[in-house]
Structure 1
């Protein structure tokens, strides 16, 4: 259901999802809304690397990244028709939950460690989960609560109650509106977006795709994204705009898996309208714009010919079920707690933010199977990551500047800048007693940039020899690596390749049990 902001050339649909890949062009966003650095023609490769090392996230991007876990709530008329896409002809009467409980949705998500919930306020069918003043195709003509209900209100209120951030998804494509395909539609869309941004308190994330199909009049719409972005910045300045937006990009798959080398700093050239338009004429997946669906988006080789660089982090999406809307037949196909933990490693643990979809059922609740899996995931997470086995270790590391700080205290703000000797930095840990572990966690303070290019973990064996047990490339906000179980009293993290002196905020060893 996702559209990579860099690959609007996509024209096909993804059968298992709810949104449309299309050839919509993402407009260039004013530079002041992004963290951008310009590459000069005279810059040497070393100059470019230095500039890349000093691109940092905006405050809204940093706060978004720190959430780690966000949820998508796909709910609407599709829940009651059994479809993934509605055609806009559904009667509002079909939307009639018997016991809608938004409190349960948010309570369970909060307990599972999620920080934000994004509701599909309007999907492609045009049915609004709030009583919009600008369409009759909404809950106000539903028998639910005699037409006086407001799902958006109930979800936003529940988020406030449990201290969760609230996000909105508003489909650009409206298969019900007769205005779709005309200039007046952009005015209509802005009015609905304004309702969502002004009537429900703080909005932390606004999620767009580039869905663009024919409307009832047989026409397609030219979206006024710049106008939409300006409205969001005015009404909800702290909200990130994803995925058809300047703050957050789609990772490129719907598997819950990021890249082995995930750079948050990427060439801004890929936002060039002409380049996007040119590639939009190509066949699906044959000519991605700037290769933004490739496995390498920001290495030295990728940035050396860039005209400018921008901080543009990845959101990594997946549904807990095969589909994005609830289907009873899929109750037996819900991802297990172990599968969700694996996804945590390949999303958050690969410098991304996980966006996990949990669709409420016809009753208006999260299904029992989904809740069991969510709770099981949280229990597995807690038993794995609560105690850092390095917490009481003696740490040895030469520093390039500043005072010695604790990098094993679960405090992101206590970062250290290690001294680089012969291009390497070493953090050595000596524990009081041997510990058994199979997970390494490393974090950079991304407010100072993303700088690590390669690192490894070594353990000292019984003979006093150092043995490498795992290695990785990028770190960013968080990198998690699993490896065969080791038991050791002395370990060391070696950072062997960097773009500049990195700010290491956390190093941890953990035990993940089967």
Structure 2
């Protein structure tokens, strides 16, 4: 009996020791995630980054007064507004065909004409013969976006030439009038993913912008806001900045901007004309190569582009435009197509975080946005190498850092191994959400990358431990 009890005791002690040892091993495997490097994007800004490009849609009175002048002056006759074949679902389908993740629509442009059924003015769709004055373009576009599963945003012009000309019997100040319009739009049409405020002459209007910002924060807490610097002080955690002009922007975008002595996440949002003079003026959409160039000098520089398409006076996007958008998406997909043979062949020439596989170099091409290579906290340089297996044609590179924990990289370089020798082929500063480097285009206009059997990304400087979640070779064809 004693022998049996002794045996049981030994078994219990052995089991306990094994469990204790296992706990130690598990504890050793637990590695703390990298500390945030402030400021950080909030959920709305991160969603905006991941969208990469959105469709800007200008449609209103100027569609029926086509010219090279996009302004409108408030005296246009609403009776001319009659889009006989209007189909918001066609717009949403066109957006998806082009790979756009959403639509930002001109609910009101500078002429003051309202594309929705508003109680603030008669200068709206209610005064038009379209659907006997019972139509609501904003509602139909918002419904179409939700049906298509894409984002919906609104552009509400701060300028209003009609109010300047005619005033309002109900509202003594433009500030009260404009606030009432924003409130209608914020409370009638479901979720709004983005507000777009044109800053032209915004300071001269002397409106109570904080009042507007607080109302938006209450009614649309998940919206991101292109604010033209009029709302960033009131709701600083969700704003987007004016890049200083329309069209493409410069490389090495820095999202970390000082706003009134406080460091904020404040990325630029470029707005780009793909068709018309914002509004449809009878001209076709720009050619595919120009679309590609705009993409590379916006999305390729780490920001989300707002690309304008203009529906015609029938209320439809031109068929030829949709064909170009389809070809554009095919090209974007081709640029991003990754060779499966390269997966899991990445290695680091410097230690990953605590030598833990969770942060190993192979996370840079596993296709998972939320996995990434990381170094220890005090290590701000790193080198990641990918063996290509054989000599390959190199058309370019796609780089991404894991921005939910901050923008960190401040200097990097790329190398190709040619005949056993490493050759520097590109240097840059910022990576951010995404950096696309394509031979012969945009910032690599004068560069042709050599055929190589291995490539390296070298992080030469970072504000904190670099977190890289994508290092990809672009191969558009060839060997």
Relative to structure 1, is the Cα distance of residues 322 and 97 closer, same or farther in structure 2, using a 3 angstrom cutoff?
closer
Q: State the secondary structure of the residue aligned to 2:394.
A: strand
Relative to structure 1, is the Cα distance of residues 472 and 466 closer, same or farther in structure 2, using a 3 angstrom cutoff?
same
User: Which stretches of structure 1, 4 residues or longer, exceed 4 Å deviation after superposition?
Assistant: 180-183, 419-423
Contact 2:342 2:386 in 1 (8 A): no
1:319 aligns with 2:273: yes
Report which stretch shifted further, 428-437 or 56-65: 428-437
Q: Which residue of 1 aligns with 2:264?
A: 310
Deviations 1:227-274 (A, max 9, x none): 11111100000001113242100222212x2222210001113xxxxx
Whole-angstrom CA distance in 1 between matches of 2:110 and 2:207: 14
Whole-angstrom CA distance in 2 between matches of 1:506 and 1:427: 11
- The RMSD of aligned alpha carbons is 2.4
Deviations 1:74-126 (A, max 9, x none): 00010111141111111110101120111111111112211121110011111
Contact 1:174 1:180 in 2 (8 A): no
Q: Which residue of 1 aligns with 2:289?
A: 338
Relative to structure 1, is the Cα distance of residues 418 and 106 closer, same or farther in structure 2, using a 3 angstrom cutoff?
same
Q: Which residue of 2 aligns with 1:460?
A: 417
Relative to structure 1, is the Cα distance of residues 423 and 118 closer, same or farther in structure 2, using a 3 angstrom cutoff?
closer
Which one scores higher on RCO, CA 8 angstroms, separation ≥ 6?
A: 1
Contact 2:97 2:322 in 1 (8 A): no
1:239 aligns with 2:218: no
Q: Which residue of 1 aligns with 2:96?
A: 110
Q: Which residue of 1 aligns with 2:235?
A: none
What TM-score does the superposition give when structure 2 sets the normalisation length?
0.82
1:78 aligns with 2:62: yes
Offset of 1:212 from its aligned partner? 3.5
Query: What are structure 2's unaligned runs of at least 5 residues?
Result: 1-34, 233-238, 440-447
Whole-angstrom CA distance in 2 between matches of 1:390 and 1:500: 32
Q: Which residue of 1 aligns with 2:346?
A: 395
Among candidates 134, 144, 168, match of residue 148 of structure 1? 134
Q: Which residue of 1 aligns with 2:335?
A: 384
What is the count of residue pairs matched by the alignment?
Answer: 418
Offset of 1:149 from its aligned partner? 1.0
Whole-angstrom CA distance in 2 between matches of 1:513 and 1:199: 49
Relative to structure 1, is the Cα distance of residues 415 and 393 closer, same or farther in structure 2, using a 3 angstrom cutoff?
closer
1:204 aligns with 2:157: no
Deviations 1:321-367 (A, max 9, x none): 35111001x22xx2222221221111111111110000111111112
Relative to structure 1, is the Cα distance of residues 210 and 490 closer, same or farther in structure 2, using a 3 angstrom cutoff?
closer
Deviations 1:393-432 (A, max 9, x none): 5221120344225211222101121359985310011133
Relative to structure 1, is the Cα distance of residues 71 and 251 closer, same or farther in structure 2, using a 3 angstrom cutoff?
same
What TM-score does the superposition give when structure 1 sets the normalisation length?
0.77
Matches within 5 A, 1:92-107: 92-107=78-93
Query: What are structure 1's unaligned runs of at least 5 residues?
Result: 1-50, 215-219, 270-306
Whole-angstrom CA distance in 2 between matches of 1:422 and 1:185: 54
Q: State the secondary structure of the residue aligned to 2:363.
A: coil
Offset of 1:213 from its aligned partner? 8.8
1:407 aligns with 2:364: yes
Q: Which residue of 2 aligns with 1:192?
A: 181
Q: State the secondary structure of the residue aligned to 1:407.
A: helix
Of Structure 1 and Structure 2, which has the larger fraction of its residues in helix? Answer: 2
Contact 2:109 2:160 in 1 (8 A): yes
1:451 aligns with 2:408: yes
Relative to structure 1, is the Cα distance of residues 489 and 389 closer, same or farther in structure 2, using a 3 angstrom cutoff?
farther
Contact 1:258 1:352 in 2 (8 A): no
